[in-house]
Amino acid sequence: MSTDETIVAVSTPPGRGGIGIVRVSGQEAFAISKIICKTPPSKVRHATLSAFIDTSGSKIDTGIVLYYEGPHSYTGEDLVEIQAHGNPLILDELVRAFCCHQARIARPGEFTERAFRNNKIDLSQAEAVADVINSQTIRAVKSAQRSMSGEFGAIVQQLIQQIQMTRAELEAAIDFSDEVVSNDVLKEQKNKNKCLISALVKLEKRSLLGARLTEGLKVVIAGAPNAGKSSLLNKLADSDRSIVSDIPGTTRDTVEFDTNIEGVPVRICDTAGIHESSDFIEKEGIRRTIQILDTADIIIHLMGAGVSEPYVGEEIGLKVPVGGKTVRVFNKIDQYPELKLKYASQEQTPVFVSALTGEGIDDLRRAILSASDTAATSENEITARSRHVVALKKALVHLRSISQDSFLKSPELVSENYRNAIQALDVISGRYSTEDMLGDIFSKFCIGK
């Protein structure tokens, strides 16, 4: 990407408002603005009232103009910010005027990309900028703001430095030992590797929660016909999203709605009842249900409280994946209250709800958070992406592959594992990245940011 070009874009959202902002960044930003602004600022970071004129000398608007001199600007380059009236026609005219003087329209996220390339922020901070803008809950916003301030990146960088230091100590011991590394050095290396793994596991857990806050949870309600799936979705949504009927097979396609549970964005999906059917349309709905189960973060395995266990096992149990991401739920508990006693002694007690009365709905919400490890913690939360979690897992694989024997038999291989772990973590900060990866990340930004 060339940073020699001067770029321009509207930074405020589409539509009309009291104020609209146009940003310009690059080597010629000041020079071009002095042509367009009738009264350019006399000094940087000084708000100046000015008329803005086009190439013919006609007035476009009157507003405020500010200069930010690089590297002390958002992008690290000379940057101009124009605050005009928030009419899209006016803002488009301002952009057109700058383009007539050799500026070009910025690509999505290009201002933030330049900030990254000019070492104003690392890649995790750049991603957090988009997360602050796109967060769906206040909890997610607060987490994204912490990452944007550099908290997440600083933790990663600290881990990288610790691994680098541990690796350097090992290599020094290899270089200066006559035959084998001393037992004292090996013991210290083992202890340090153990501490590094512990710190990475802790950060991985925080990052997984951060990714949930950023990307949200997908919760799928699955069960037999007439188990009350649509009624449960409507109760969770506090509105009639799904059609409710006593006729089996009423729901033939997935119905979705977005909500949040204690600040975690959640998309809940109602699905067609799983059972044997000869109806073509119903069979297609069941096929889609089974397909969507593979994409779920959490599956609510819903059963009617009056349904016999063999029926549940034969018709549903074989279709719904069993594991930590499945929450077993009995509906219609208002009709069968004695069922709670039957399961009271079980280690993993099902959740009992009534989609009719609302009983147990809060318990279900808590169970969803518990199953997804997204319950609120006392620790400061950070925003993260799935790619960050993947990078941390890769670093852990390299550190965990260092066995007790490898310190003694092949310390050079241990050093290589340290190097690979560092490289995996460098992907988070962007120090080790590809142009394709950067292009994918910044293409998801809005234009003007």
Percent helix, strand, coil in the chain, to 5, is 45, 15, 35
Distances (CA, A) of 449 to 107, 148, 168, 248: 9, 14, 40, 50
What is the spatial distance between Cα 115 and Cα 126, in angstroms, rounded to a whole number?
8
Q: What is the pLDDT of residue 180?
A: 61
Measured distance CA(293)–CA(6) in Å, rounded: 48
Q: pLDDT at position 246, please?
A: 47
Other CB atoms closer than 10 Å to residue 103's CB: what's the count? 24
Residue 25: beta bridge partners?
A: 7, 79
Contact 63, 39 (CB under 8 A): no
Asked if 133 and 13 touch (Cβ cutoff 8 Å), the reply is: no
Structural tokens at position 193: 């590797």
pLDDT of the chain, 449 residues: tens digit per residue:
556 899 999 999 999 999 999 999 999 999 999 999 999 998 999 999 999 999 999 999 999 999 999 999 999 999 999 999 999 999 999 999 999 999 999 999 999 999 999 999 999 999 999 999 999 899 999 999 999 999 999 999 999 999 999 998 888 877 766 556 677 777 888 899 999 999 999 999 989 889 888 888 899 988 877 778 888 888 888 765 554 444 444 444 578 888 888 889 999 988 876 656 656 566 666 667 777 787 888 999 888 776 654 334 344 444 455 555 888 898 888 888 777 777 766 667 789 999 888 899 999 999 998 888 877 665 678 888 989 999 999 999 999 988 766 766 777 888 899 999 999 999 998 887 778 778 888 887 888 77
Number of alpha helices (DSSP H) and beta strands (DSSP E) in the chain: 16, 12
- Name the region of 45 (left: φ>0; alpha: ψ -120 to 50; beta: rest): left
The stretches of 313-434 forming alpha helices (DSSP H) are 339-343, 361-371, 386-400, 404-409, 411-429
- Locate the DSSP E strands across 69-158: 79-86, 104-105
Domain spanning 131-213+382-430 has what CATH number? 1.20.120.430
pLDDT at 87: 97
Distance CA 270, CA 380 (A): 34
- What is the reported pLDDT for 2? 59
The pTM for the full model equals 0.79
Backbone angles phi, psi at 241, to 5 degrees: -85, -35
Cβ contact 106:112 at 8 Å: no
Please tell me whether residue 299 adopts helix, strand or coil conformation.
strand
Tell how strand 79-86 and strand 59-68 pair up.
Answer: antiparallel
**Cα separation of 232 and 248, whole Å?**
16
**Contact criterion met (CB below 8 Å) for 415 and 171:** yes
Beta strands in 109-245 (DSSP E): 217-223
The one-letter amino acid code at 280 reads F
- What is residue 59's predicted lDDT score, i.e. its pLDDT? 97
Encode burial over 12-26: b for 16+ CB neighbours within 10 A, e otherwise.
Answer: beeeeeeebbbbbbb
Q: Report, in angstroms and rounded to the nearest whole number, the Rg of the chain calculated over CA atoms.
A: 29
What are the residue ranges spanned by the domains of the chain?
A: 7-122, 131-213+382-430, 217-296+298-371
75 and 9 in contact (C-beta within 8 Å)?
no
Tokens of 146: 């912490």
The domain over range 217-296+298-371 is classified in CATH as 3.40.50.300: yes
C-alpha dihedral, 341 to 345 to 348 to 353, nearest 10°: 10
Note the CATH number of domain 7-122: 3.30.1360.120
